[in-house]
């Protein structure tokens, strides 16, 4: 699970490729750097953990949607108007926390992350320490985030790639039965969607 064979490029190499591509597009009058920046800014304004919260809340109240989400998360999130194909097609997989299993997401070689659902990734997610330790000692890392799990709860570590991203469906909080879907969505945090927090 966590030993995916990544095919990531270094940040510097990728940055150079982007600069070259933008320069070529500008030379051909197809795109300007200002228009590209505006597009990225618009995307990032819409990329927020509230999107992931909407997905999880729908799964909590709609068992059929939850099953579709677990079977084909990319198609399920598209049903509620969230586009995961922002720059290139990315497959999304949802993994569900239960009373016996807890899921946590990492990207061991860089910081692949479903920005459209979780917003920009936090600094700790990109840190070398998180990326290496989460695979080796997930229980200890989770404890540092304040997530103390019983010893009989299995921890699954999911390693994102440039083609495959993950989202955790946290356990629904107790005493939330009377809440509306919108109220439930507001309970969902970015860290809960990564698996480094309980709700």
Residue of 2, 110, 121, 162 marked catalytic:
110
Q: What does the alpha-carbon distance between residue 69 and residue 94 come to, in Å, rounded to a whole number?
A: 6
Give the Å distances, CA to CA, from 84 to 4, 34, 87. 21, 23, 9
* Catalytic status, residue 111: yes
* Catalytic status, residue 121: no
Give the Å distances, CA to CA, from 121 to 20, 23, 64, 75. 25, 27, 30, 23
Residue of 111, 121, 162, 176 marked catalytic:
111
* Catalytic status, residue 110: yes
Residue of 10, 74, 85, 112 marked catalytic:
112
Report the run of H or E that residue 101 belongs to, with start and end. Answer: strand 101-106
Residue of 11, 15, 107, 176 marked catalytic:
107
Residue 1 contacts residue 166 (beta carbons within 8 Å): no
* Catalytic status, residue 112: yes
Catalytic residue annotation: 107, 110-112
């Amino acid at each position: 699970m966590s030993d995916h064979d990544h095919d990531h490029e270094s940040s510097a190499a990728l940055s150079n490729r982007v600069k070259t591509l933008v320069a070529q597009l500008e030379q051909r009058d197809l795109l300007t750097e200002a228009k590209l920046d505006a597009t990225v800014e618009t995307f990032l304004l819409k990329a927020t953990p509230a999107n992931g919260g909407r997905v999880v809340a729908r799964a909590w109240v709609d068992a059929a949607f939850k099953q579709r989400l677990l079977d084909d998360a990319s198609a399920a999130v598209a049903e509620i108007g969230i586009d995961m194909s922002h720059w290139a097609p990315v497959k999304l997989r949802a993994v569900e926390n239960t009373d016996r299993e807890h899921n946590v997401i990492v990207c061991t070689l860089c910081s692949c992350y479903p920005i459209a659902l979780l917003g920009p990734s936090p600094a700790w997610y990109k840190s070398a320490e998180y990326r290496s330790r989460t695979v080796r000692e997930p229980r200890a890392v989770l404890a540092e985030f304040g997530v103390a799990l019983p010893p009989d709860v299995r921890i699954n570590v999911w390693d994102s790639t440039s083609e495959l991203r993950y989202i955790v469906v946290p356990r629904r909080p107790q005493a939330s039965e009377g809440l509306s879907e919108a109220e439930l969505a507001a309970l969902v945090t970015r860290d809960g969607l990564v698996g480094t927090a309980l709700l």
